[in-house]
Amino acid sequence: MDKQELINIAIEARSLSYSPYSHFAVGAALLCKDGSVYVGSNVENASYPLSMCAERNALYSAFMDHKTKDDFVALAVVGDTDSPITPCGACRQVISELFPMNAPIYMANLRGALKETTIAELLPFAFDGSDL
């Protein structure tokens, strides 16, 4: 699967967003080595801290299906932003632990803008188990 196909799946995942407060729908698609794809969208709550981002929903869904970091190939995240969307700080922290450090992360918007990066670039000084 190429990056545009993965981005298109993330765009479709946006339609599952529950975002009545921010009206900011985000979709994510996580590609695995076996070709399976796990999607996520943001799900809000009136108590904002209880909301969940698209990226974490996709990753957690994959883990609940017995996937691990070793299974992941790429992650796409899409939002209706002026420039390519970027994962929030909480998502960066989770991605740094559950996703390969140098696997591609495709950050895109609905206008076709795309930035490819890695979690190593997005969060170079991540907190991890060695810090405990």
Indicate which residues carry an active-site annotation: 55
SS3 label, residue 31: strand
Please count the CA atoms within 13 angstroms of the CA of 33 that sit on its side-chain side: 9
102 DSSP assignment: T
Helix axes 3-14, 54-64, angle to 10 degrees: 100
